Amino acid sequence: MAEPLDIDAMLQRFRDRAHAVRNRQLPPVAGEERARFIEQAQRDFQDFAIIGDAAGSLEDGVLVLRVDLRPPADPS
Classify residue 26: in a domain, yes or no.
Answer: yes
Q: Taken in order 48, 50, 51, 52, is the CA torsion positive or negative?
A: positive
Classify residue 74: in a domain, yes or no.
Answer: no
Quote the number of domains for the chain.
Answer: 1
Classify residue 49: in a domain, yes or no.
Answer: yes
Tens-place pLDDT, residues 49-64: 999 999 999 999 999 9
- Which of 57, 47, 1, 2 is closest to 20 using CA atoms? 47
Domain hosting residue 20, numbered range: 7-66
Q: Residue 8's pLDDT is what? A: 94
The continuous run of DSSP H or E covering 55 comes out as strand 55-59
Question: Could you give the 3-state DSSP secondary structure of residue 13?
Answer: helix
Classify residue 71: in a domain, yes or no.
Answer: no
Tell me the pTM. Answer: 0.77
Q: Residue 30's pLDDT is what? A: 86
Q: Residue 72's pLDDT is what? A: 84
